[in-house]
């Protein structure tokens, strides 16, 4: 039985195959309508979510399966003090596969140790978010036609942004990737990630001003400052509007820039950018459903 806890659980080849299946689903959705008939996905969300949870549910429904679950810890027995392990053992009696989001880093790994069914990490604290990474990779491949030879700008909260951590670990495995890391000093990438980029020999620079580097980028991955991971409100208020991408800043960017954001957006991309053809973030949302369909197929049927 396979779980997906970290993006590095998948080989580069497996990732490429998953993206191929997602492309096929996009081309021929009817072919997949019955694949998960009588199978059930449980979504256990101990933290807020819109896209991740609903795209998992839409993915399973479009495969002909059913969904059950909860969308906040308060409405589950976690509120009575039940452990993650006991919750997962229980839900494993009712569902064939579990997508789980939890504020504690490593909670899905604990779940996987006891679960009778595959566990998918749908975000654990400030750590990892592998299915967002699959979404991001599909988007990059569809928008740019490749996953190698790219200058990738990561902008915003690189300290707590779990989507950034997973995406960097995944992209580091493709050829000729260079990262431009744009953040206030306090929100720079964690040391362990800096170390793994060095070990993997992936070049990166760390800068504070978006304007200085925007013209060099193939991809600009904007992120929200992760309010819920801050210890004090004053720090959040001081840092929250560090970057706001607007048409003026965008005027310095290349015509073939691809602008991404895992969403939700707060202020970091002005609404005026949404109509720019380079804004890929709502196409990215749609890709999230297709790649999750491919992942469910792979974990339950070994099809991808």
Tell me the window of 32-40, 66-74, 237-245, 256-264 that interacts with ligand NCD (CB under 6 A).
256-264
DSSP string, 222-248: E----GGG-S-HHHHHHHTTS--B-HH
Question: How many residues line the site for ligand NCD (CB under 6 A)?
Answer: 11
The correct pick among 129, 142, 165, 292 for binding ligand NCD (CB under 6 A) is 129
Strand order in the sheet with 258-260: 204-207, 177-182, 150-155, 219-222, 258-260
Tell me the window of 102-110, 178-186, 246-254, 258-266 that interacts with ligand NCD (CB under 6 A).
258-266
Interaction between residue 262 and ligand NCD (CB under 6 A): yes
Tell me the window of 29-37, 70-78, 202-210, 257-265 that interacts with ligand NCD (CB under 6 A).
257-265
Active site amino acids: 51-52, 80, 101, 129
Strand partners, 100: 44, 121
Cβ neighbours around 77 below 10 Å, total? 13
C-alpha separations of 15 from 56, 171, 194 in Å: 18, 11, 23
> Residue 189, preceding bond cis, omega within 30 degrees?
no
Binding mask 138-177 for ligand NCD (x = CB under 6 A): ------------------------xx--------------
Interaction between residue 102 and ligand NCD (CB under 6 A): no
Interaction between residue 127 and ligand NCD (CB under 6 A): no
Q: CB under 8 Å to 240, separation ≥6 — which residues?
A: 225, 227, 266, 267
Residues contributing to the site for ligand NCD (CB under 6 A)? 51-52, 123, 129, 132, 162-163, 224, 262-264
């Amino acid at each position: 039985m396979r779980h997906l806890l970290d993006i590095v659980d998948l080989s580069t080849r497996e990732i490429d195959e998953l993206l191929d299946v997602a492309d096929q689903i996009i081309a021929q959705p009817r072919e997949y309508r019955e694949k998960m008939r009588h199978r059930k996905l449980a979504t256990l969300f101990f933290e807020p979510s819109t896209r991740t949870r609903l795209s998992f549910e839409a993915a399973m429904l479009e495969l002909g399966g059913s969904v059950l679950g909860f969308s906040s810890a308060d409405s589950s027995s976690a509120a009575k003090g039940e452990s993650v392990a006991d919750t997962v053992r229980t839900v494993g009696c009712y569902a064939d596969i579990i997508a789980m989001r939890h504020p504690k880093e490593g909670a899905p790994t604990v779940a996987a140790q006891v679960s009778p069914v595959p566990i998918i990490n749908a975000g654990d604290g400030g750590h990892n978010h592998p299915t967002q990474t699959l979404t991001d990779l599909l988007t990059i491949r569809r928008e740019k036609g490749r996953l190698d030879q790219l200058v990738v700008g990561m902008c915003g909260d690189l300290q707590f942004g779990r989507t950034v951590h997973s995406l960097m670990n995944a992209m580091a495995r493709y050829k000729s990737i260079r990262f431009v890391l744009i953040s206030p000093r306090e929100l720079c990438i964690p040391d362990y990630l800096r170390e793994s980029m060095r070990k993997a020999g992936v070049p990166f620079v760390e800068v504070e001003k978006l304007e200085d580097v925007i013209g060099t980028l193939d991809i600009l991955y904007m992120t929200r400052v992760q309010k819920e991971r801050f210890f004090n409100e004053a720090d959040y208020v001081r840092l929250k509007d560090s970057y706001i991408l607007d048409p003026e800043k965008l005027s310095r960017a290349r015509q073939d820039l691809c602008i991404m954001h895992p969403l939700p957006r707060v202020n970091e991309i002005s609404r005026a950018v949404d109509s720019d053809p380079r804004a890929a973030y709502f196409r990215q949302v749609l890709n999230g459903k297709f790649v999750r369909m491919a992942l469910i197929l792979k974990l339950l049927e070994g099809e991808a």
